[in-house]
Amino acid sequence: MRARALAVEYETVCLDSDALAAARSMAQQRLPAVLVVGAEGTPKAILPATQMVRLLSTPLARRAPAVLRSDERVLALLQDAGLDDRQSVLVHRAFTAWVLGYLLVELRAMEDEPAEPEPAFRLGLHRLSAHEFPRLRAMAPGLAEHGGPAGLAAGLDSLLEQLT
């Protein structure tokens, strides 16, 4: 068998792509990584989801310019919406924390047996003691659901309504 027989199309981002857009794409498509390509479309690197979280959690002055541009755009949008500096910073922090948390939940491997139709079995929760973990087992159907783009939008709407 040749490698070309195994090859599939894969999500790509450019070197100067918006970091939050790349993270959003990874979450929406539940990708473990994206392929980073140069201007001519040649592969430059593979960016795993764990590295994306690390990039977004790096101290402010050490972040990549693409990440800083995303922060700058969010702060500008908040100020354009009428928030003062203090409110903009608070909303930006809450927004960033929520998005990173959402990405961690959406991107982590939760399914033990992806083909299994029964949620408790799909998540492997049937292996846990019902006495010790009754809530995890009882809430298996909800835990097996993923919000996807609609969940991301609903959560952000709710967050912004509470903060503004």
Strands 12-14 and 33-37: parallel
pLDDT digits (tens, 9 = 90+) for 30-40: 777 777 888 78
Q: Which residue has the tokens 């002055």?
A: 61
49 touches 19 (CB < 8 A): no
Count of beta carbons in the 10 Å neighbourhood of residue 133: 12
d(CA 83, CA 95): 14
The confidence band for 132, taking pLDDT boundaries of 50, 70 and 90, is very high
Q: Per-residue b/e over 100-121, b at no fewer than 16 CB within 10 Å?
A: eebbeebbeeeeeeeeeeebbb
**H or E, element range at 36:** strand 33-37
pLDDT digits (tens, 9 = 90+) for 38-80: 878 777 777 777 777 676 677 878 877 877 888 899 899 889 9
The confidence band for 138, taking pLDDT boundaries of 50, 70 and 90, is very high
